[in-house]
Structure formats: C-alpha cells, structure tokens
Structure 1
Amino acid sequence: MAAFLGAVVLAGLALILAGGQSIGPCLVSEFRYQQARDAHDAMDAGGSSEKEARKWDDPNQAAWLSVDGTPIDYPVAQGAKQEPGFYLAHDLWGQPSQVGCPYLDWRCSVADTHALIYGHRVGTTDLQFSPIANAWDHGVFDALGAATLETRTDTKSYVPCFALKVDKSYEQIQRFSMDRDELRSWLEDMLGEASAASPRAQDLCRHATKALTLATCASSQAGQRERTLLVFVGTSA
C-alpha cells in the first residue's frame, strides 16, 4: 500500500506539471482501483463469496488485466459504439477522471480472436499503461512477462510477441473477428514492422489462436500522435 500511495503522489505531481485541472477525481479513481485490486487479491487467496461479488460488482467491467514484470493490474471496461472514447476521461464507475480506465475497443470483446485494449500513459508514473509506453524498445520489451486476462468465467494467459510504434491512425491494428488463418497471417504481417520482438515471435505467430494488444501513447507529452502497440498471443485452444 505504501508503494501505491507513492505512485499516486507521483501521478498527482505529473498531472500538475501537465496542467491538469482536476487532480482530485484522478486520485480518487486510483484509490478505488486499489480497493478493487485488494478485493481481487483476496479472492485469489481464497476469499469469501461476498468478496467475489465485489470483485465483479460493476456491470461495465469486462475483465481483469495484469502483466507480469509490470505494475499493470487493473479492471478493464467494455467500450461502447455510442461513445467509443468514454473511458479515456472516466473511470470504471463512470466518474470523470484524467487517468481513465483501460477499456476494450467497442468493436471487440474478450472472447474475440483479437482483443484490443486502450489505456493512458500517465506522465512519468507507473500508473495505467505507463509501464509499457516504451515497449517498442527491446530493453523494455525483453523485461515483460505474460499478460493475464481474467473474466467472470475464464482466465487466459498471453505471451509477449512483439511491439511497435505507430501513428494513431494506423489501421492494421483495427482487425477483429478473424478466423485462425487470418489471425496468423495478420500477426506475421505486423511482425515485419515490429521494432522489438520475442526470439520465438515467428513461431508464436504461426501457432496463435488468439491475440491481445495493449495500446497507449508513446510520448509522455499529451497531444502527440505516436502510439505504442504491444501484442501478446495465446497459443492454446
């Protein structure tokens, strides 16, 4: 908890330096995420059914995401067609927040062959998707572990495959509802553009059954166009 409080203080300072006008709601959001995290950890340790209910008590929560080797450990919201970027400016509970909430692209779901999740980079802190903002660099990529995506009924693990830095208009990542052959071909095409990749990347792409992409800003300065795409693959049915 002490480490979390330190991170929240740093987040507040980062928002001040960035000209943030409403820091309080952002810190409230992060405290609520920590409470959800505590309930999640308690359940994983054999908690009560009451704690399990609290862990999934928000209808907007589609999954829980964690990435080994990073502090990323957050609930994931489901984006909606009516307001695709809602969770860029709101937390899981719908309250205004500059740190937002990781969320699935409205065109996909956790069950899709490709799940695309967006998350903010929060200055120089380790909050939200900040720890993977430079994953396009080999030194950062090589330190990453598996991503775990947990739902109410299932838990799946994904292996880091490759990462790249692209313009925010990059259309290739916007592919969903592919069959396995299409998925594998799509992954191999993007691997050719990657700046960082696993030594096993080609083999992972050829045997992939699902893909998970985490997307965030590549720059710590707001308003820039470059995005980091970190692609994980699942190879089991």
Structure 2
Amino acid sequence: MRSKTKSTIAFILAGILLAACIGAAALLIQSRSAATSFDPSPSLAVEDATDGFPAVDWDYWQSVNSDVVGWITVPGTSIDYPVVQAHAEAPTWYLSHDVYGSWNIYGCPYLDADCEEEGFDSQVAYVFAHHMDDGSMFAPLASLDPGECGEILLQTPEEKMRLEICSVDIVNAWSELKQVDFPSDAAFQEWIRDVPGSADTVIAVPEDSDSIKAFVTCSYNYWSNERTIVYSTNADIYHSS
C-alpha cells in the first residue's frame, strides 16, 4: 500500500513539474515573440525602403508607447528593433519590460536615462539591450565583425542616421565608468581618443565628432560583469520631410 501511495505521489509531482516546464516554455516563447516580432513590422524590402532604412510607422509606435524614440537596424544581423527612452526614476525598467510596457525577460533596447535631455544628440548616446542565448536582442553585437558589418542604421521620427562603426571594446563593467556629456568640446575629443580610440578593435578614430553612439550588451569572455560596447559615429544624416 505504501509503495502504491509513493508511486501515486511521484506521478502527481512529475505531472506538476511537466506542467510547470510547459508553462515556462510557453511563457518564454510568448515573451520572445512580443520582444522580437512586431505588427506592423518594418521591412527592408526594396519597394518599401529604397534608402535601405526600414519603413517605420512612427504614429503607430508612439501611440503604442510614447517612450519610443528610435529604431535600430544592423544589416546582416537580426537586430531590427524599436528603441525606447529610459527615465531617471526607473533607469533599468526596460531591461525587464518590452516595447508594449509588459513585463518581459527580453526587455527592449533603450536609450540611457542620462541621455533623456539631449536624446541621440547626447555627446555619448548609450543604447543598452540584453544578450539573449537564442541570438536575439543585441546578442549579435558580441560577435560582430566590424569589417564585415560596417554600419548601423538608426532612425528617429525626425531623421535617419547612417552610422559608421569606429571601434568595438570589451570592458569590465565593474570598473568602466559611463560618461554622457563633458565640460568642453576639448574634453570630449580627448575622451574619443582615449576610450573609443584605444578599444580592443579600432576601425578609425573619429575627428571633430559632435556625438558618439554607443551600443552596449553583455559578453561572456573574461569577467563576470562584462560588456561589449560598439562605438559609432554619424556618416550621413537625412532629415525626414
């Protein structure tokens, strides 16, 4: 009798565990879909975007979430996402919430809260996103070959920016200090030479740049709190009509 009872309990526990695993898998699939699949979805189809930039319905996306301030696309990768503005009262909120404002382990790419005043025109505009094991979000940045990629497409409702990658750095986030603005242009140009200009991989050190766009995600090479930072600068800017 005791053996039968133990078998019944084991069977029930196994069923509960299986149901929990199925539920967790379903939640993960749902979360990934909400974070990476969009409707309406911008497309790189030639007939929709002859300039190479995805066609973004800004009115729609800003009605979904007024925090939507941009869209990032890295040709040749899976990166094709809205970018939201983080706020000082909850600077990491979008690490665990998607563009729809729902809790989501995938989060949403976001412009740093310290850039809220100047937006993408900040002297250093930091955009953060997760490095997901399934290769989504900013995971491709951790294995990016700047020589093959070369450019990042970043757009806002007002303009389209074709960014050139100038360097890629892998840093220990425990010791790396983030700086968004500087006391003088000379100090900013010195920072460009000292930080992006001395990164692990340097393509070119930008001269007389007024803004650096830095795209940041986790890496898993040397330290427990490691980040890959892709530094880029404006190559061409097109103002929306």
Q: TM-score scaled by structure 2?
A: 0.73
How many pairs does the alignment contain?
Answer: 205
Partner Cα separation in structure 1 for residue 25 and residue 111 of structure 2: 25
Q: Are the counterparts in 2 of residues 67 and 145 from structure 1 also a CA contact under 8 Å?
A: no
Q: Does 1:63 find its partner at 2:64?
A: no
Match of 1:214 in 2: 215
Partner Cα separation in structure 1 for residue 186 and residue 25 of structure 2: 45
Partner Cα separation in structure 1 for residue 175 and residue 166 of structure 2: 19
- In the alignment, which of 145, 148, 153 is matched to residue 143 of structure 1? 148
Q: Residues 164 and 20 (structure 1 numbering): CA distance in 2 closer, same or farther, change over 3 Å?
A: farther
Write out aligned runs for 1:32-181 (5 A): 33-38=37-42, 44=49, 51-57=57-63, 58-108=65-115, 109-123=119-133, 125-135=134-144, 140-172=145-177, 174-178=178-182, 179-181=184-186
Q: Are the counterparts in 1 of residues 35 and 99 from structure 2 also a CA contact under 8 Å?
A: no
Q: TM-score scaled by structure 1?
A: 0.74
One-letter amino acid matched to 1:77: V
Gaps of 5+ in 2: 1-20
Q: Residues 21 and 229 (structure 1 numbering): CA distance in 2 closer, same or farther, change over 3 Å?
A: farther
Q: Percent sequence identity over matched residues?
A: 22
Partner Cα separation in structure 2 for residue 191 and residue 90 of structure 1: 30
Tell which structure's C-alpha radius of gyration is larger.
2
Match of 1:224 in 2: 224
Q: Are the counterparts in 1 of residues 153 and 163 from structure 2 also a CA contact under 8 Å?
A: yes
Match of 1:5 in 2: none
Gaps of 5+ in 1: 1-15
CA root-mean-square deviation: 3.1
- Note the alpha carbon deviations across 1:36-91, whole angstroms, 9 max, x for none: 43379786479xxx955224432010111112332211100111111111111110
Q: Residues 181 and 142 (structure 1 numbering): CA distance in 2 closer, same or farther, change over 3 Å?
A: same
Partner Cα separation in structure 2 for residue 55 and residue 149 of structure 1: 16
